[in-house]
Structure 1
Amino acid sequence: MAYLLKGVLIVLSLITLSLSQQDDPVSGFCRRWGHTTAQVGSRLYVDGGMVGSVPFASNRTNPWLLYSDLNTSTVDAGMPMQYANLSKPGNIPSVSGGYTWSDNTNQCFYQFGGEYPDGVTPADYSMWTYDVILNTWNSTKTTGDKQFERVSFGAGTHVEQRGLGFYYGGWISNKTTLGWKGPPMATNGLVQFDMSTGELQNMTGPDDSNTGRAEGQLLFLPVSDSGILIYFGGIEDPYHNGSYNAANMSIIHIYDMASSKWYRQTASGSVPAARRQFCADVTWPNDQSSFNVYLYGGYGASASEAPGFDDVYILSIPSFTWIKVFPLDGSDSTPSQVGHGGCSANVINRAQMLIIGGWFPLYDKCDAPAGQGQHNMVLGYNGGEGKLWDKFDPKLDDYVVPSPIISAIGGGPTGGATKTAPASWGHVDLATYFTLKPSFTARAATRSLPSATTSPSPKPSKKTNVGAIAGGVVGGLAVLIIILCLILFCLHRRKNALKEKQAQADEPPPPPPPAELATTVPHEMPATTDASKYVSIHDQADAIALAHYPGHTQHSHSFSHEYNSSYPAQGPPSYGNAPPYTSPVVEAGHNSHSPHAEMYSPDEHAMHNSPPAGWSPQMHYAQSGTGTEGQYSYPTPVTPRHSPNDSIQQQVPIYYPRPTDPSTPPLHTPRSFSDETRYPLHGSPGRDNRRVNDDRRPIHGRFVEEDHM
């Protein structure tokens, strides 16, 4: 029995340890990259991508859907509070390099594209919609062009005013498409998704040469009759044979949505070095005299470039002027230890831009774990500290043009730019487009939106669903196992009791008391009419027997078992060793290497991909069994209703022969025998006070030391 209980407890410990190794994506954050973001209302959702942790030097797919509450800012890190208490079933793709189109009108976002991690078979092409009100996922019903292949690390944007989503370029590979053979190939199509009708269209890219592009940025500007899209950066794939070129950062591709035409414009100024997987977003003053694109970081797009960049540039349009704003001390003359790409950028209320995550080629620490890898730019330098990198302020919603832009294009903090055209336009149409402003009609929701009072929107909680689920499962298993142990123990105890009872039944009865000679001398009693003259000795014996009638003895026993052990758990577990996706790019010529092969090379980036200094969340699941006391009740003794002279059924009268010698009259009382059953009391096992120390070291990793947040 002891071995059985020990085995059960060992199994319980293993189950507890296995479940507890699912690390908390918020409190246990170390770094993330390749994810997508979508702002709907006051929440910035974070989906997919890769996550890394230490000390296991491993990376894995992010299976959680998280969000940053844009109405909050933490005291310590000064970043929005992040939560992971949202639904994401296992059948929803968790991919890297995709895009999410937000739809504030219908309170949802759409998941598009992305690639699967190593070892996972790509699923057929599909789109999914997340309902932010109901906290549910649904398959997106689409119409139009059905000849779509999943692509990854393209460039996406959305136009809320028109309910349109766009995605340009991206890779097709064996990580996106089942049965793909050969090296990854960059595409040249522009995908348009109509959020109102569900129609998907695949349109042509910037030029007729069918040059594929990937890992750049696509942004929307409210210019021309219906708006324009601009695309820049990343890599170019003109040959589709595994060789790639770095895109020139001075070349800006422009798509006019009204005419469906592509144009090309050259930018000037402090042009950034060629790069890929950088992050960028755009804002503008109220008068829209300038549209200012803020760019951060990225990976080097060729072997001659730095592995990663830690810098900020602004592209001011319509002057098409590049302006470098960070760093300005020349510290980027050598490769930065904290340079990184694979990040996301989202402008919030036109005044701030949240940079989230990224992969660090040369840095082996966590990415600001206290703020979950969030870093904030105050785009107008009008935050609490009056500088570019500043704490997030939920109340800041006023964009002012900062002095570096004013110095380049004129005007003032509220706009009024005086330089409103480049040195020369790439096409005469562009000069006209930038003098026009589109007008948009208010969109109507295409779904029934529940009222705020009936909305089952999840309540924010610092604890995650993972911890709650693991705790519930472990607790339930513990209770079931404890009940099983009690049942087994009771059965074992009952079996032993039956054996003892059977053994007692098989024993011979105890010998009767020895027959003692007893004599008595008759006494003469007063003559009465109601009393006999003699009371015989056996009648006295009957009376004595009644006087000493033992009745029934009440037996009781109790037992209690207390299983109250702590099962400490450590995390995080070890995952796969595949680094994030990037593509090796050369300036020209033919490169035979696969972009996946180099980017995912464990040998080259192993020490840099292992997210850092660790955390080891320790969860205790205490199981306690309430003591149980059993009372065995027997009938209560009652006073015999027999007359002292009646025959007693419970005891056979003993007749003693007359003595041969009347001189020996002593009377000996027969010995009394009673059987007493003793039930051993079982004590509770001692508490298991084992602890596993949390040896995680303090983590203060930030990709900037003083000037970054």
Structure 2
Amino acid sequence: MRFSLRSCLASLLLAAGCSAHALAPRSPGDLCGFTEGRTVLLGNLVFMMAGKTTIQDGHNEAYVKQLYWVDLNTTFNVEGAIPPNVLHSTDIPSSAPYESGGAFFAAGNTVFIYAGLMGNSRYDWMWSYNAKDGTWSRAQVDGGKLNVDHRFAGLSAVAPESNLSFFTGGWDKPITGTVVFNATDAADTKWTNVTRVEGDDAVGSPRIANGGMDYLRLGKQGVLVAFGGYDISKNGTNQTETDHDLRPMDKINVFDIDSSTWYEIEATGEIPEARSAFCTAVSAAPDDSSFQVHMYGGRSRFRENATSYDDLYILTVPSFRWIRAPTTGLIPWTEDGVGRDSHKCVSWKDGEMVVFGGTPRKDDKVQKGCSRNYPPIRVLDTSKLQWQKQFERTTKYTVPRIVSDIVGGDETGKATLKEPEGGWANSKLQSIFSQTVARRPDITEVPIPPEPTDPPKSTIPGEEPNSSNTGAIAGGVVGGVLGVAIIAGIIFFLRRRNKKKNDNSFAAATPAAPPAPPSMYPDQQQIPMDSKDDAYMQLPGELHGQTAVPPRYELDSPIQSRNRTVFELDSSARER
């Protein structure tokens, strides 16, 4: 009798738990898709805009006139859509580029909107947003009209130590060279377009579309490392669905910021398949003896076979070795043949790579709509190479064994392999990669402003219930709970009579559903003043924004995209 009661109770509890999870709806207003946009990390805030967004019970893959941001000074779950209490937003100026293309520049407390798909005009100013006081303004820039409306699929990076931002490449070619934006003096911003090719083994600015570029704290003022994507410097050989060929992944372009010079270095190791529209994020060893550039996902559009990727590779620098890095944990996709492209990544305190948005594809077919199978954020622990269920604000980086086995040393660094295979091509490169830029000092975190007084309900990934069955579901759940309570009481009585030590019933010992991850707030601190050393800032003031299209409801079923392409526009661009 005791066995049957326990079995019945366990079955009821299991059924109740499964039903609660499966029937829990996503909340209206949750963001479940963001692709082809621009992102930048400013202190503890990740800003996003100019991408196609999909909102639960709202618009589907629409360009909206909104600036979004996520605060990485909190802990939040990443198994489902992004709720409004995690994803903040404000309106952007009516004339600001809100479609794909361009990039964010950043310095101090301000983000700048550079270029985009809005027209063919040139400007000597940019729209800027001050994250400290939540205000928009036009930032006049000395150096000419280098802000070009119609510029997309280029490469961008930010050097926070020097308040410099960079942009190069892209499909359209109104400007060749590398734009260097200097906001060291917020009241006197400047930019220049670097086109010169001087010195031994120097090369021109890489003509890359839909590749990747990152800032590394190597050299006197830092370096940029660029690779992948399409080679737009010459016509292609009809291998891809565009007019250009994919670049081989062993060709790495390096920009020395101090001398404004580009070089090309050949990487070795486990070379990835040629691809575009991937994302990258950098982690530095604790002693700066090696820097790991993580490359995740991407897509290759060969005429014979288009492939979407879901793999992770690491380019370790300064040895320039590629390492294929298997991952564990909560893998991004539960199905075979699924990959992600046109997404963005940021590195948080070296220990986490946060993946934002992207276009999920199964067997290279676009998967649209809101689906629990394709969450808009993923988090990789870069020390364990393990996908996580939630983002943690506190983290630190240790070098993975798979990297130290190649470059030497241990989890703390101490790398012994510090040059490419075959050595450096010249003494200048050797000198550049023998220096590192000092880390910015840790800054006490700024307190988070209070959340709205009536925040939306928490979201659990799952299918939405049929509204007509709501009463029946509620009644069934209530009845089940009462039945469980009665059975639990009987078991409690029987076990109390037959055993002396039994303080809790079986029902009471059953673990409850875990609570939503807590938001973690630091102690109250004074808001920092504008300074290039300020690593954190408060959340900007929010405004209630309006989308540019009427609400629509999304489906979980896949929808195939149109097979009409001229350029590769998976990242920061539209088909045309």
TM-score in terms of structure 2 length:
0.66
**1:427, CA displacement in angstroms?**
1.7
Match of 2:181 among 172, 181, 193: 193
1:394 matched residue in structure 2? 392
**1:58, CA displacement in angstroms?**
5.3
1:323 matched residue in structure 2? 323
Assess, with a 3 A threshold, how the Cα gap between structure 1 residues 367 and 436 changes in structure 2: closer, same or farther.
farther
Distance in 2 of aligned mates of 1:583 and 1:427: 43
Assess, with a 3 A threshold, how the Cα gap between structure 1 residues 328 and 43 changes in structure 2: closer, same or farther.
closer
Question: Are the equivalent residues in 2 in contact too, given 1:224–1:435 (CA < 8 A)?
Answer: yes
Distance in 1 of aligned mates of 2:411 and 2:81: 25
Question: Are the equivalent residues in 2 in contact too, given 1:128–1:139 (CA < 8 A)?
Answer: yes
Assess, with a 3 A threshold, how the Cα gap between structure 1 residues 25 and 123 changes in structure 2: closer, same or farther.
farther
**1:343, CA displacement in angstroms?**
0.4
Question: Are the equivalent residues in 2 in contact too, given 1:135–1:457 (CA < 8 A)?
Answer: no
1:83 matched residue in structure 2? 87
Question: Are the equivalent residues in 2 in contact too, given 1:87–1:136 (CA < 8 A)?
Answer: no
**Structure 2 stretches of 5 or more lacking a match?**
1-25, 237-241, 442-525, 531-536
1:42 matched residue in structure 2? 44
Q: Percent identity of the aligned residues? A: 22
Distance in 2 of aligned mates of 1:25 and 1:192: 42
Distance in 2 of aligned mates of 1:54 and 1:193: 37
Distance in 2 of aligned mates of 1:430 and 1:237: 26
Question: Are the equivalent residues in 2 in contact too, given 1:79–1:376 (CA < 8 A)?
Answer: no
1:614 matched residue in structure 2? none
Are 1:263 and 2:263 matched, yes or no? yes
**1:337, CA displacement in angstroms?**
3.5
Distance in 1 of aligned mates of 2:205 and 2:341: 27
Distance in 1 of aligned mates of 2:43 and 2:28: 21
Amino acid at match of 2:433: F
**1:290, CA displacement in angstroms?**
0.5
1:475 matched residue in structure 2? none
Distance in 1 of aligned mates of 2:148 and 2:547: 38
Matches within 5 A, 1:581-600: 593-595=566-568
Match of 1:102 among 106, 111, 114: 106
Matches within 5 A, 1:333-344: 337-344=337-344
Distance in 2 of aligned mates of 1:454 and 1:404: 42
1:136 matched residue in structure 2? 135
**1:56, CA displacement in angstroms?**
10
Greater RCO (CA < 8 Å, at least 6 residues apart)? 2
Q: How many pairs are equivalent?
A: 435
**1:320, CA displacement in angstroms?**
0.8
2:284 matched residue in structure 1? 284
Q: Deviations over 1:472-531 (max 9, x none)?
A: xxxxxxxxxxxxxxxxxxxxxxxxxxxxxxxxxxxxxxxxxxxxxxxxxxxxxxxxxxxx
**1:316, CA displacement in angstroms?**
0.6
Distance in 1 of aligned mates of 2:69 and 2:28: 10
Q: Greater strand share, 1 or 2?
A: 2
**1:322, CA displacement in angstroms?**
0.7
Matches within 5 A, 1:60-459: 60-74=62-76, 77=79, 82-103=86-107, 105=108, 107-116=109-118, 121=119, 124-125=122-123, 126-146=125-145, 148-150=147-149, 151-172=151-172, 185=173, 188-195=176-183, 196=185, 197-204=188-195, 212-239=207-234, 243-304=243-304, 306-326=306-326, 337-361=337-361, 362-366=365-369, 373-381=376-384, 388-425=386-423, 427-428=425-426, 429-438=428-437, 452=527
Assess, with a 3 A threshold, how the Cα gap between structure 1 residues 208 and 434 changes in structure 2: closer, same or farther.
closer
TM-score in terms of structure 1 length:
0.54
Q: Deviations over 1:427-454 (max 9, x none)?
A: 2222222212345999xxxxxxxx7399
Distance in 2 of aligned mates of 1:128 and 1:582: 35
Amino acid at match of 1:144: G
Distance in 1 of aligned mates of 2:563 and 2:132: 35
Instruction: Report which of the two structures shows the higher radius of gyration computed on alpha carbons.
Output: 1
Distance in 2 of aligned mates of 1:36 and 1:313: 22
Distance in 2 of aligned mates of 1:232 and 1:302: 18
The secondary structure found in structure 2 opposite 1:161 is coil
RMSD: 4.3
Matches within 5 A, 1:491-530: none
Question: Are the equivalent residues in 2 in contact too, given 1:164–1:193 (CA < 8 A)?
Answer: yes
The secondary structure found in structure 1 opposite 2:406 is helix
Distance in 1 of aligned mates of 2:575 and 2:56: 19
Question: Are the equivalent residues in 2 in contact too, given 1:155–1:214 (CA < 8 A)?
Answer: yes
Are 1:571 and 2:573 matched, yes or no? no
Amino acid at match of 2:322: W
Assess, with a 3 A threshold, how the Cα gap between structure 1 residues 367 and 294 changes in structure 2: closer, same or farther.
farther
Distance in 1 of aligned mates of 2:562 and 2:209: 12
Amino acid at match of 1:41: G
